[in-house]
Amino acid sequence: MIKKIITVTIFALYFIFIIGSFFLNFSIGKSIGGNFLKYALDMLMMFPFVFILIGLFEVWIKKETIEKHLGERSGAMGFFWAVLLGGTTFGPMLVALPIAYSLFNKGAKLSIVFTYIGAASVCRIPMTIFEASYMGAKFTIIRYAVSIPLIILFSVILGKYLTGKNYEIKDDK
């Protein structure tokens, strides 16, 4: 209960600061408020497409397919598919996290789900193209050569740890 009160208080102070900045003509606060509004509207415009894509993923991709390619018996190819799927995920993590939840519910191994989340945050194709054009292809290749094995390594470690602790996702429905 106290945690909820603290959270509400922080959000209230934030919005009071933003509103006060507009009345007091405080340029930094107005800039923060404008940025918040811009990103909030961008997220709201993206929500319908995200929900449609996640719904299509739930309906079109069969549980057997996920279990075969990303499940307990998938081996090293499961990690390959997770990195490939994560790299082709577009949009913010707002898209990747519900897909990761869906993958887990359809039988994907926990370490492969973690690999997908890591790859979705590090290996997206648009980000890679942008990075290679500014930092150079050599930098991008080196970053991938370091990032992908580390993502897989820590996904396996975390997956084994949580599986050993009998971790489960509780469904609040």
What does the pLDDT look like over 114-160, one tens digit per residue?
999 999 999 988 888 999 999 999 999 999 999 999 999 999 999 99
The verdict on pTM exceeding 0.85 is no
Query: Is the confidence at residue 172, as pLDDT, over 70?
Result: no
pLDDT band at 84 (very low <50, low <70, confident <90, very high): very high
Helix %, strand %, coil % for the chain, to 5?
A: 85, 0, 15
**What is the spatial distance between Cα 30 and Cα 39, in angstroms, rounded to a whole number?**
14
Q: How much is the pLDDT for 108?
A: 93
Contact by Cβ (8 Å): 107, 63: yes
Helix (H) / strand (E) containing 137: helix 137-164
Domain range list for the chain = 1-47, 61-173
